[in-house]
Structure 1
Amino acid sequence: MADIAELTALIEPEVKALGFDLVRIKLFGSGDEYTLQIMAENPKTKQLVIEDCAAISRRISDVMDEVDPIEEAYRLEVSSPGIDRPLTRLSDFMEWASHEAKISATEIVEGRKSFRGVLNGVEGEDILFTDAKAGDVVIPFSLVSDAKLVLTDRLISASMPLSSDGADEFETEE
């Protein structure tokens, strides 16, 4: 299986060259069913439209065909992080401060490994967080194994789509 750090070093410059930020690279699956998932975003909108995904996919496909860093057969999947996005960079925790999130730690922090509450920002390499049960906690970024935003009305309002073109229209009865 390919090394994620090596894949990131190969893919991130290509994503940046197209004007996007890399959010996450994940390689998962088993046997002959592997998926290379690339999440990226436009730094201005925090979203991607389908044309952006297609452009990234073409560019990454060309590079991957040339370098061939993954021995196994795989499917390439390029997507926007979505509304309840994963938080993978320290800057994500600052940018989405005041929103609800779930965080899992690799080690016990303040007596817990799982947290759900409100992001309060970042101080140095630490995430400031108010957990619904434990109160205010400081979670070292280096101990975060998984983190994502929680879907709330406030988050939906903050993440309004760039365009509703192509969305299904519904007729309502009054």
Structure 2
Amino acid sequence: MSKVTDTVENLAAPILDEMKLELVDIEYVKEGKNWFLRLFIDKPDGVDIEECGIVSERLGEKLDEVDPIPHNYFLEVSSPGAERPLKKEADFANAVGKQVHVKTYEPIDGEKVFEGRLTEFNGENLLVEVKIKTRTKTFEIPINKVAKARLAVVF
């Protein structure tokens, strides 16, 4: 993580703990000429716009005090949405039985992108059941080979 996201995570932690919310992800990115600081928060039954507003207001005050970002930026606080990123071991454990989208750093059985049902996570490997035409194949993906992972929306 960058120095900015580390600082923001430290500032946000007590606010989120008090509100019993989880920090899912932080992004600090430049899009066009504008900088965005995005926090994605959640709780088991989901977050609402009021909770996002409270976190935004309270975190904004802390950011104004500490001033870790030397230029103008937009602060956005929201739910991670249906395609929630999977980053921590707990995220993968909670996603067992759900549809996931996984990209790896290097090919596994000739593939780098896997979309299917996460059937197991043992702390070291993911087992992802992928439908290929008329059959199903299970891929074992070492967690240290995962570049990006998220929940997948099923239509």
Give the AA of the match of 1:49: D
Q: Identity across aligned pairs (percent)?
A: 30
Structure 2 gap segments, 5+ residues each: none
State the TM-score, normalizing by the size of structure 1.
0.75
CA distance in 1, matches of 2:103, 2:92: 14
Deviation per CA, 1:53-104, whole angstroms, max 9, x where unpaired?
0111112111111112222311011111112322222222221222211111
- Cα distance change on mapping 1:77 and 1:18 into 2, 3 Å: same
User: Which position in structure 2 is the counterpart of 1:27?
Assistant: 28
User: Which position in structure 2 is the counterpart of 1:139?
Assistant: 141
User: Which position in structure 2 is the counterpart of 1:66?
Assistant: 65
User: Which position in structure 1 is the counterpart of 2:77?
Assistant: 78
CA distance in 2, matches of 1:23, 1:97: 17
The answer as to whether partners of 2:119 and 2:128 remain within 8 angstroms in 1 is yes
CA distance in 2, matches of 1:114, 1:146: 10
Alignment RMSD (CA, Å): 2.2
State the TM-score, normalizing by the size of structure 2.
0.83
The answer as to whether partners of 2:119 and 2:129 remain within 8 angstroms in 1 is yes
- Cα distance change on mapping 1:31 and 1:81 into 2, 3 Å: closer
CA distance in 1, matches of 2:35, 2:3: 11
The answer as to whether partners of 1:2 and 1:71 remain within 8 angstroms in 2 is no
User: Which position in structure 1 is the counterpart of 2:16?
Assistant: 15
Structure 1 gap segments, 5+ residues each: 154-174
User: Which position in structure 1 is the counterpart of 2:90?
Assistant: 91
The answer as to whether partners of 2:103 and 2:149 remain within 8 angstroms in 1 is yes
Deviates more, 1:94-103 or 1:11-20: 11-20
The answer as to whether partners of 1:127 and 1:140 remain within 8 angstroms in 2 is yes
TM-superposed CA distance for 1:31, in Å, is: 6.1
Give the AA of the match of 2:148: D
Give the AA of the match of 2:118: L
- Cα distance change on mapping 1:82 and 1:14 into 2, 3 Å: same
More strand by share: 2
- Cα distance change on mapping 1:127 and 1:7 into 2, 3 Å: farther
CA distance in 1, matches of 2:22, 2:109: 33
What stretches of structure 1 move > 4 A for 4+ residues in a row? none
3-state SS of paired residue (2:64): helix
CA distance in 1, matches of 2:21, 2:150: 20
CA distance in 2, matches of 1:11, 1:125: 29
3-state SS of paired residue (2:128): strand
